[in-house]
């Protein structure tokens, strides 16, 4: 059996008359760190929504952990770390409770927490080095700390695949490097990490695979093979600045 975490074959998605993805095909292996890059509005968010089962393609095949997307979601195979601006940071909730949200799928019909839930939450916080902030309000944290909390929520869920949408937006260089090191560590521990990013400068040293998206999949594969001037220029219509290629 193929070691494939996510597979799309011939996937097409349109929003009314607007094209989002056309005949998109990709196979992402388990235990890889994939950077998804492309222009704004070129289909990156739609690709994530298809993987999460939030958008049903007009045509094509989608498999996540060898299951249809609805089954994969039911089993908690995929966890999503949203863009910072999509979260209401003024909502009064503690770091602990944010991470506990990742356990909802494991709780009984009355959403009653148990010892296992607490252990999983504290273990997840320990992995991202945020244990000391468990009782802090989420809105009090720095940008980098907030990202770590949402990664902890994904870990508490027990997801095999982590999807991160623009995780470096708004972070300073130190926080970005710290988050990158955490994600690389999680990949080495067996997670499949997929992130959409505009940070092309750090991508070659961060991701072992790259997906180029332009209303479909332009190319996908090992970074050294796909992150080339020719292919990236094609993806961004030649609008490249300050990017160095090997």
Is pLDDT of 151 > 80?
Answer: yes
List pLDDT tens digits, range 12-27.
999 999 999 999 999 9
Look at 71-85, 149-163, 196-210, 231-245 and tell me which has the smallest mean pLDDT.
231-245
First to last CA, the chain: 34
Sequence-distant (6+) residues with CB within 8 A of 107 are 113, 114, 117
Structural domain boundaries of the chain?
1-74+196-246
pLDDT band at 106 (very low <50, low <70, confident <90, very high): low
Strands lying side by side in the sheet with 192-196:
78-81, 161-165, 192-196, 33-37, 209-213, 217-222
Which CATH code fits 1-74+196-246? 3.40.50.300
CA–CA dist 210, 94 (Å, integer):
35
* 95-106 average pLDDT score: 85
* 151-172 average pLDDT score: 89
pLDDT band at 110 (very low <50, low <70, confident <90, very high): very low
Q: State residue 1's pLDDT score.
A: 46
Is pLDDT of 11 > 80?
Answer: yes
CA–CA dist 195, 210 (Å, integer):
10
Among the listed residues 177, 182, 176, 101, the one whose alpha carbon sits nearest the alpha carbon of residue 143:
176
Is pLDDT of 109 > 50?
Answer: no
Among the listed residues 39, 19, 22, 24, the one whose alpha carbon sits nearest the alpha carbon of residue 233:
39
Is pLDDT of 105 > 70?
Answer: no
Please give the structure tokens belonging to residue 222. Answer: 């090992």
* 181-195 average pLDDT score: 94
* 137-157 average pLDDT score: 90
Among the listed residues 180, 241, 213, the one whose alpha carbon sits nearest the alpha carbon of residue 37:
213
DSSP symbols for the chain? ---EEEEEEEEEEEETTEEEEEEEEEEEETT-EEEEE--TTSSHHHHHHHHHTSS--SEEEEEETTB-HHHHHHTT-EEEE--GGGS-TTS--BHHHHHHGGGGGGS-TT----HHHHHHHHHHHHHTT-GGGTTSBGGGS-HHHHHHHHHHHHHHHT-SEEEEESTTTT--HHHHHHHHHHHHHHHHTT-EEEEE-S-TTTHHHH-SEEEEESSSEEEEEEHHHH--HHHHHHHTTT---S----
């Amino acid at each position: 059996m193929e070691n494939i975490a996510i597979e799309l074959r011939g996937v097409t998605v349109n929003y009314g008359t607007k094209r989002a993805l056309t005949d998109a095909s990709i196979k992402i292996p388990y235990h890889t760190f994939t950077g998804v890059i492309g222009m704004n509005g070129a289909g990156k968010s739609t690709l994530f929504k298809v993987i999460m089962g939030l958008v049903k393609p007009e045509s094509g095949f989608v498999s996540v952990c060898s299951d249809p997307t609805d089954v994969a979601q039911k089993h908690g195979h995929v966890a999503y770390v949203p863009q910072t601006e999509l979260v209401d940071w003024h909502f009064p909730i503690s770091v602990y409770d944010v991470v506990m949200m990742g356990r909802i799928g494991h709780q009984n019909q009355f959403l009653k927490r148990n010892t296992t839930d607490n252990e999983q939450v504290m273990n997840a916080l320990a992995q991202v080095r945020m244990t000391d902030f468990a009782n802090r309000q989420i809105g009090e944290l720095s940008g980098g700390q907030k990202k770590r909390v949402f990664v902890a929520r994904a870990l508490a869920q027990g997801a095999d695949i982590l999807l991160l949408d623009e995780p470096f937006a708004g972070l300073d260089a130190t926080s970005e490097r710290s988050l990158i090191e955490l994600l690389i560590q999680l990949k080495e521990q067996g997670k499949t990490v997929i992130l959409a990013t505009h940070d092309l400068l750090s991508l070659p040293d961060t991701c072992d695979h790259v997906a180029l998206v332009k209303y479909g999949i332009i190319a996908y594969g090992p970074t050294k093979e796909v992150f080339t001037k020719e292919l990236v220029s094609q993806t961004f219509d030649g609008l490249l600045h300050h990017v160095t290629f090997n």
